[in-house]
Amino acid sequence: MSISKRDIWFWGLLVLGGGSLANAGWMLLDPLRWYHDLPVGVPDFGDFNPHFVRDIGCAFATIGFAQVWAAFSPRHRYPLVVMSAVFLVAHAVLHVYDTGRGAVDHTHWWLDLPGVYAPAVLVTVLAIVLARQQGDLHANPARHEAV
């Protein structure tokens, strides 16, 4: 992809993917430090389990890889972003459920906003935009030959 073809989605996906990959790397390489040092109250959700933290790290590595791939490959963006959104929304729903039922303190509504809820909403909106573009692409293929 040439620099002139790098749109806002490229940069957004690159940042999201980089963040997901950085989080995954921390979870996989130093799960105990991630558990205690991530400033969002992870211990509030249960006891430390290094295997479980690494499992979740693998999920974040997967979506991070998908987001970076989507950044560099507009042709594959839609399915990659949709799969990323599936995980992020499911993760957010679990946080809503646990906070809503009182399993964690109500402060988690705010603690989870930047790292859980906002990425889920952002990637879902991106998936919707890309779905509309996909529909436009199939309706007018000659208009989008370079995509």
Tens of pLDDT along 13-61? 999 999 999 999 999 999 999 999 999 999 999 999 999 999 999 999 9
Q: Is the pTM of this model over 0.95?
A: no
Q: Round to whole Å and give the CA distance between 84 and 62.
A: 8
Ordered by start, the domain boundaries in the chain are 3-144
For residues 50 and 26, the answer to whether their CB atoms sit within 8 Å is: no
Q: Residues 130-145: pLDDT tens digits?
A: 999 888 656 665 555 5
